[in-house]
Structure formats: structure tokens, C-alpha cells
């Protein structure tokens, strides 16, 4: 981001148009990269408490089956772009979910590495145990088009197997499966901060389909709708949202581990009540629509004057 005030005949005031935003580093980064870094996050530990709420409406004698967990995760960066995550799931309330969910067990465990590549390409490689009882490898990349950075191309590929926890004992299968996703996105920053995307995907059962999302981002909330259709499978859709949990500002004291709630908590509503198809996974606990948009320069610019 670059502050470039536009001065006319009147007294200048800070406005959104004074800021130039871009994913490009420009020539100034070469100079800034030589400056000695201060307050580096390397080797500093965060303990992040992730609340997890799951609801099912499958039987006529009960309105909802409920599962609520608190899942603290230790997160630390050991080198540039890397993050180690180790999470423990602590059951708080279980009404209607399998007995295995009553046991304290590991959650996300993995190592991720973020890379900035030429031509406005960002990549993230992750290895470990993911959500949806999957373990394996995951790679995702985003290219923000140079001619108009509101447009972007996305891709993701995973090679995973089934693995679940019974307490601290992991049971896993040796059969692996590829999943992938290719798509395009458009971000409309003017007034509304609306993100729309269309993707062609292959899911965990091997079915291939099309998914469309439309999401509006606010400062502390991201909410949107989605629709999915695969060949030979009934169409499905619903809504999803992420909410930032207070407090919204955190301080760190040297290398003392910092304990915080999750930066955002979310739910996805499955309107078609689909139980088997359209299944995927998340590679890290912060792999969600709100976190993925948090470094969008257009979104940051729209929020500059709201503080």
C-alpha cells in the first residue's frame, strides 16, 4: 500500500482515494528488505483457542444434535513463511454424535509453508492431519492477474487418506485419493467488498462438480452463499459465515506464549442435508474465507478510515 495524498485547492483530508493498493511489491521493497527487522515473529508461540460448534438435524424426535468443542492449538513459526500447528480437541458437550467425539484427541497437526512466487502467485504447501479425518499433502496457489488485480485464478490439489483418532491412537487407511479444484474469482471492492468465485472441483468420493460462492466481507464478519452441482448427484447449497472473536487487538510480551481466542469462528449451513457427497477438508484451522481475505489490499483500504 502507498499513501499518495491528492491535494487540491481546499484543505487536504485523508480519504480512501489517497491510497494506492496492489499485490505488487514495487521497487520500494528492495530498499525496505535491507532494513534490519524488528519484532520478528520467528520462534514466538501462540496458543489459539478454537471454539467448534457442529449441528445435525437428521431425526424427527430431536430438533438438533449438538457437538461443542474447545480446541487449543499451539502455533509457532521456525523460519520465514513456515508455521507448525499442533491442536488438541477438548469435548465440552456431545448430544447425538458418535462416542469417539467424547474423547480428548488431537485435531490439526501439520507444517505449512507459504511461498511468494513471481507474477503475483502465492502458494501454500501443507503436510499433516487435516479436518474431515484426512491426512496427507495439500498444495494451493492463487494468481492475482497483473492487468487487473481484482481478478484472480485459484488452484488446489490434495493427496490424502482416511485417518481418525480414538483418543490418542490414530487409525488410518493406506488408500489415498486425489482431490483438486480450479477456479476464478472476482473481488468487487467498491462500497460492498463482495467476492464471487466459480470452481470446478473433484471431491473425496471422486465426484466432479461445479461450485459457485458469493461472499460479502465486513470488518468483523464474512457471510455468503454457495451452490454446488456434480454429475449424477443432487444439487446442494447453503450459506456460510465467519465471525471475528473479541478482543480484536492483542499484545505480545517478548517470547512469552500469547494466549488468544480464535481470530474467527464460522459455520456452514447445508441446506440440502447432503451427508455423503461434496466433501472436502481444511488443511489448517485458520483455513477459512475470512482469514484468506484478511491480507487483501482492497479490503484493507476500505477499512482504513473506519478505525
**Helix (H) and strand (E) counts in the chain:** 3, 16
State what percent of residues in the chain have pLDDT above 70. 91
**Chain segment 27-61, per-residue pLDDT in tens:** 766 767 677 777 788 899 999 999 999 998 888 88
Residue 241 pLDDT greater than 50, yes or no = yes
Return d(Cα 211, Cα 208) in angstroms, integer: 10
For residue 185, being part of any structural domain is answered with yes
Query: What pLDDT is recorded for position 25?
Result: 73
Q: Say if CB 141 and CB 121 are below 8 A apart.
A: yes
| Residue 284, pLDDT above cutoff 60 | yes
Q: What is the pLDDT of residue 3?
A: 55
State the residue for C-alpha cell 474423547: 103
Rounded CA gap, 136 and 126, in Å? 8
Exposed e or buried b for every residue in 199-228, given b needs 16+ CB within 10 A? bebbbbeebebebebebebbeeebbbebeb
Residue 84 lies in a domain: no
Residue 12 in domain: no
Kindly state the DSSP code that residue 42 receives in the 8-state scheme. Answer: B
Q: Is residue 64 part of a domain?
A: no
Q: How many CB atoms lie within 10 A of CB 32?
A: 9
Higher-confidence residue of 196 and 33: namely 196
**Separation between Cα atoms, residue 178 and residue 232, nearest integer Å:** 20
**pLDDT at residue 299 greater than cutoff 50:** yes
Confidence of residue 307 (pLDDT cuts 50, 70, 90): low
Residue 52 confidence (pLDDT): 94
Residue 256 is assigned to a structural domain of this protein: yes
Q: Which of 123, 110, 115, 126 is nearest to 76 (CA)?
A: 110
Residue (of 60, 58, 293, 303) closest to 195 by Cα position: 293
| Pairwise CA distance, residues 302 & 70, whole Å | 33
For the chain, what's the residue count? Answer: 307
Convert the pLDDT of each residue in 136-187 to its tens digit. 999 999 999 988 889 999 999 999 999 999 999 999 999 999 999 999 999 9
* Structural domain includes residue 30: no
Judge whether residue 99 has pLDDT over 50: yes
Residue 283 lies in a domain: yes
Query: What's the number of domains the chain is made of?
Result: 1
Residue 289's domain comprises 114-306
Which position has the higher pLDDT, 197 or 245? 197
Sign of CA dihedral 271, 275, 278, 281: positive
Q: Which residues contact 116 (CB under 8 A, 6 or more apart)?
A: 122
The per-residue pLDDT for range 78-93, each reduced to its tens digit, is 999 999 999 999 999 9
Q: What is the mean pLDDT of residues 258-287?
A: 90
The average confidence (pLDDT) of the chain is 89
CB atoms within 10 A of CB 65: 15
pLDDT of residue 295: 86
pLDDT reading at 5 higher than 70: no
Q: How far apart are CA 37 and CA 85, in angstroms?
A: 24
In tens, the pLDDT along 200-222 reads 999 999 999 999 999 999 989 99
pLDDT (average), residues 100-116: 96
3-state secondary structure of 171: strand
Evaluate the CA torsion angle 163, 166, 168, 170 in order and state its sign: negative
The yes-or-no verdict on residue 9 having pLDDT over 50 is no
Q: For strand 134-144 and strand 258-261, is the pairing parallel, antiparallel, or unpaired? A: unpaired
Is 193 domain-assigned?
yes
- pLDDT for residue 39: 77
Amino acid at each position: 500500500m502507498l499513501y499518495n495524498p491528492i491535494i487540491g485547492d481546499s484543505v487536504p483530508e485523508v480519504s480512501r482515494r489517497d491510497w494506492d493498493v496492489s499485490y505488487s511489491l514495487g521497487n520500494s521493497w528492495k530498499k525496505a528488505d535491507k532494513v534490519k527487522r524488528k519484532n520478528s515473529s520467528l520462534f514466538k508461540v501462540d496458543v489459539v483457542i478454537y471454539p467448534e460448534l457442529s449441528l445435525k438435524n437428521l431425526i424427527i424426535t430431536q430438533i438438533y444434535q449438538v457437538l461443542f468443542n474447545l480446541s487449543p492449538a499451539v502455533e509457532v513459526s521456525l523460519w520465514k513463511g513456515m508455521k507448525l500447528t499442533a491442536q488438541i480437541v477438548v469435548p465440552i458437550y456431545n448430544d447425538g454424535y458418535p462416542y469417539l467425539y467424547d474423547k480428548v484427541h488431537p485435531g490439526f497437526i501439520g507444517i505449512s509453508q507459504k511461498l511468494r512466487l513471481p507474477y503475483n502467485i502465492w502458494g501454500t504447501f501443507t503436510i499433516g492431519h487435516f479436518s474431515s479425518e484426512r491426512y496427507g499433502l495439500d498444495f494451493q496457489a492463487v494468481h492475482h492477474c497483473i492487468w487487473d488485480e481484482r481478478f484472480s485464478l485459484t488452484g488446489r490439489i490434495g493427496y490424502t487418506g482416511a485417518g481418525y483418532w480414538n483418543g490418542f491412537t490414530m487409525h488410518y487407511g493406506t488408500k489415498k485419493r486425489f482431490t483438486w479444484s480450479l477456479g476464478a474469482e472476482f473481488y468487487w471492492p467498491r462500497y460492498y467488498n463482495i467476492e464471487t468465485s466459480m470452481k470446478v472441483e473433484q471431491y473425496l468420493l471422486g465426484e466432479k462438480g461445479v461450485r459457485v460462492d458469493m461472499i460479502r466481507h465486513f470488518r468483523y464478519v464474512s457471510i455468503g452463499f454457495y451452490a454446488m452441482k456434480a454429475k449424477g448427484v443432487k444439487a446442494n447449497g447453503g450459506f456460510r459465515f465467519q465471525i471475528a472473536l473479541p478482543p480484536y487487538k492483542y499484545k505480545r510480551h517478548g517470547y512469552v506464549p500469547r494466549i488468544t481466542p480464535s481470530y474467527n469462528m464460522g459455520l456452514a449451513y447445508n441446506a440440502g442435508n447432503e451427508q455423503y457427497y461434496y466433501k472436502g477438508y481444511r488443511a489448517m484451522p485458520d483455513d477459512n474465507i475470512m482469514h484468506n481475505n484478511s491480507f487483501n489490499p482492497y479490503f484493507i483500504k476500505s477499512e482504513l478510515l473506519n478505525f
